[in-house]
Chains A and B, each alone.
Chain A
């Protein structure tokens, strides 16, 4: 075990924890109000984000139903644009980022570093409570026509279409951006200052490294987005002309401000997932993570290089030639640290004793999806080819492989892995396998044909398309229905297991990181006595003697 505690027999442990839970556990209603416990906030983030995932998913199903036929016959084209705008916005800003960073980051970071809470518990709670109003603003915008300019909201379109809805959209993003900045400050201070003294940097779990890199990135890039959006808000409502070409403004500046945040946002969505992968794979492969330092440093490298690739979203826009080349090279370079991570995970599987729990299935599924998404990403880095497929379904295919096949698979893996710790109950493995199979097949059916649609000439963000694309679009729509249906076994599983599932032990997966040394669910303030770290978080298969020598 990771901590140097006096080993107790099982009966003693159970008795001890029952005693603890009587006095040191939250009641259910504490989860519905203002609470400064990082674990409560983590679960609040996760559940809220999941609700938005369902809403965003419904929007996607609506869009795919529209696209089942070439004509705009299911929803009005303006409504279609509002759906696609809010689908993208909700999935990014109210599902993946809050779930991965807010949810798992808040829940796990203090537990993994042996802290009793985050550094600034009140800031943490305030950061969470900025999210529900942001979501309500987005959903409420539908009563004013819905923001229709895409999640990028490029002016001048965003300045002339549905101004009230667009303003609500901007305010929602500024709210979640503020939340993200507050969270980032909190994580950085917590990870640097609050580790138990025995937890040195080289023993820090990789998830914490990932969250550290993510937070640094969020702290640098988010204010730039906020600035750009507030200028846009002024343009729409107060007669300024920052981005109005007919009054001396420049529309390209907005794109630079937007993508300076929004490309790194991709890493905000995937870096925590990389961290989750690095936690899950060693546990189920029963092996130390391969290349701990390489994975930790590659997170930092991605964070740094990730700040210098934003212009590849603007190759067909107002981009001078030297920029197209500089950003071609910098974009391609991001593939190297990302590749290092993937190879390291694959090498971790080698020589292991792999247990295919649902969490591991999702982790391995993620590897497969992400390899394809990463490879299509390389093709997009090369400016001459990117110009052909920019703003087409090839892009849609690429980022859904990365963000659905990557981030969402990673979130599912994390839910199955940490569910026993969070709820004290086990999830049903059989339902989990059904969920995984439906998700994996559904995702590939939905997103694989989109590559071909894009290269052959179907632009993205259209409610109508040429008849020759009908067959592939119907395949995508079928896949989307399957994805929607895949949520049924998951929700049944989660709700049933949370209330009636078999009780989980403190460490059901026999893992070595610190969060598994406390009760399931953890008591308030996490530990009776703070743990002492005696060896690294991934030393599976090392004999007691080897550990003692070290």
Chain B
């Protein structure tokens, strides 16, 4: 007689827990909006994990609370409990179930990782970016083929010091005559490569990202544009080549679910497709000094037409009069006040600081 209600109760509890877990897995509200193809994959994985975690949490916490209530000592009862030392089938059960769940999650993680393009960060063809024919700088053919996929030999040849970004800055500030070679792109060794759909294709747009205390610089090698915020077209295959000038920074766009450290002396990359037009924060996630928390900018995801327009405007403006951008916009002088004392302490020259600030202010 007693068996039946007990198993019925267990069944009901099991169904309830399953329903609650399924619901929580979809409605936990812990993730910001999805703005990249990777975000969808990561969120699915997270939702599954939240679902499993909710079920386990309810079962374990439920058991703890139930036992604490059911088996609390009555006043005056000095007896001991039931002397059970173990139960092999039960122990095997609760070792096996988590092990199976874990292996399942592991396999799923690997699959998501593969779909996101985690296996081949170094396999890009340098440069060769053509957005709707708007960009006129063609790469010399020998550079286009310079990087065979996954070649160890070529990795060794990749520039391996912090000079890349400085060169890029210098190139930008010099007048770029028509046909000048854009600065060489480092081959990313770490990060995410092309996802399943884009594998084998060259990216639509390459942007060199440089982290420095306390700003991000975005250099478009095929159009010579240098900006303080990232502009990309929606739905296109974007390759970021990430490096750092001084200390480790970490490039993070929460809405893209993508993060990659910017490492001085090592190149890393992110390849992704933004799926939603909008403006999203770019956050530095790795402690990089006093004003780490202020190292913020944004990524603007345009429609392809808007992006072409932006590209043309900026390419013209920066090539015609690059030095003028250094002095504009005194309205944001607080940025300098904010950075100057620390820059001096760090030995960053006034000139470099001016350049950084100018780029930050050149946001359209």
Contact = CB atoms under 8 A, between A and B. Distances in A.
A68 B28 CA distance: 25
B197 to A, nearest CB: 17
B80 A286 contact: yes
A205 to B, nearest CB: 15
Interface string A306-346: 00000000001111110011001100110110011011101
A335 B50 CA distance: 15
Interface stretch (B6-14, B59-67, B227-235): B59-67
Nearest to A342: B60
B28 to A, nearest CB: 9
A154 interface: yes
Interface stretch (B141-149, B176-184, B290-298, B305-313): B290-298
Interface in A369-428: 371-372, 375-376, 378-379, 382-385, 387-388, 390-392
Interface stretch (A105-113, A458-466, A513-521, A526-534): A458-466
Interface class of chain B by DSSP: mixed
B298 to A, nearest CB: 11
A314 to B, nearest CB: 9
Contacts of A288: 83-85
Given A251-B248, A459-B283, A325 B110 contact: yes
B287 A383 contact: no
Contacts of B72: 353-354, 356
A319 B90 CA distance: 39
B290 A148 contact: yes
B128 interface: no
Given A455-B30, A455-B31, A371 B61 contact: yes
Contacts of A451: 30
B98 A336 contact: yes
Interface in B24-46: 29-32, 41-42, 45-46
Q: Counting chain B CB atoms within 10 Å of each CB, which of A318, A325, A383, A539 scores highest?
A: A318
Contacts of B17: none
Interface in B214-257: 246-248, 250, 252, 254-255, 257
B189 A320 contact: yes
B264 A321 contact: no
B263 A353 contact: no
A81 interface: yes
B53 interface: yes
A340 B97 CA distance: 11
Contacts of A321: 113, 118-121
A367 interface: yes
Contact of A251 (B108, B266, B283): B266
B174 interface: no
Contacts of B252: 391, 459
B64 A343 contact: no
A544 interface: no
Interface in B47-94: 49-50, 53, 56-57, 60-61, 63-64, 67-68, 71-74, 77, 79-87, 90-91, 94
Interface stretch (A155-163, A206-214, A430-438): A155-163
A339 B98 contact: yes
B281 A457 contact: yes
Contacts of A461: 287, 292-293
Taking residues whose C-beta sits less than 8 angstroms from the other chain, chain B's interface range is 35 or more
Contact of A378 (B49, B95, B266): B49
Contacts of A292: 85-86
B171 interface: no
Interface string A281-305: 0000111111111100000000000
B291 A350 contact: no
A456 interface: yes
Contact of B161 (A76, A245, A367, A375): A245
A291 B109 contact: no
B105 interface: yes
Contacts of B130: none
B94 A324 contact: no
Contacts of B259: 316, 387-388, 390-391
Interface string A509-550: 000000000000000000000000000000111100010000
A136 to B, nearest CB: 25
Interface string A474-494: 000000000000000000000
Contacts of B112: 382, 384
B68 A354 contact: yes
Interface in B260-285: 260-261, 263-266, 268, 281, 283-285
A154 B247 CA distance: 9
Contacts of B257: 387-388
A245 B119 contact: no
Q: Counting chain B CB atoms within 10 Å of each CB, which of A291, A335, A375, A387 scores highest?
A: A387
Contact of A349 (B31, B71, B90): B71
A78 interface: yes
Contacts of A344: 91
B83 A541 contact: yes
B113 A317 contact: no
A314 B291 CA distance: 23
A157 B77 contact: no
B283 to A, nearest CB: 5
Contacts of B285: 316, 390-392, 459-460
A30 interface: no
A72 B293 contact: yes
Nearest to B281: A457
B99 interface: yes
A383 B95 contact: no
A512 to B, nearest CB: 10
B116 interface: yes
Contacts of B286: 154, 391
Contact of B68 (A76, A317, A340, A349): A349
A351 B82 contact: yes
A507 interface: no
Contacts of B258: 387-388
A223 interface: no
A316 B290 contact: no
B250 A316 contact: yes
A340 B291 contact: no
A328 B60 contact: no
Contact of A539 (B83, B287, B293, B296): B83
Interface of B: 29-32, 41-42, 45-46, 49-50, 53, 56-57, 60-61, 63-64, 67-68, 71-74, 77, 79-87, 90-91, 94-95, 98-99, 102, 105-106, 108-110, 112-113, 116, 118-121, 161-162, 189-190, 246-248, 250, 252, 254-255, 257-261, 263-266, 268, 281, 283-294, 296, 346
Given A317-B261, A325-B113, A541-B79, 5 more contacts: A287-B80, A288-B84, A353-B72, A378-B49, A542-B80
Q: Ordered nearest first, which 4 A-B pairs have the shortest CB separation? A: A245-B265, A462-B293, A541-B80, A457-B254
29 contacts: A77-B292, A154-B248, A156-B247, A160-B247, A245-B263, A252-B263, A287-B81, A287-B82, A290-B84, A290-B87, A318-B263, A318-B266, A321-B118, A329-B106, A336-B102, A340-B94, A346-B67, A354-B67, A354-B72, A356-B68, A378-B105, A382-B112, A391-B252, A391-B285, A391-B287, A460-B285, A461-B287, A461-B293, A541-B83
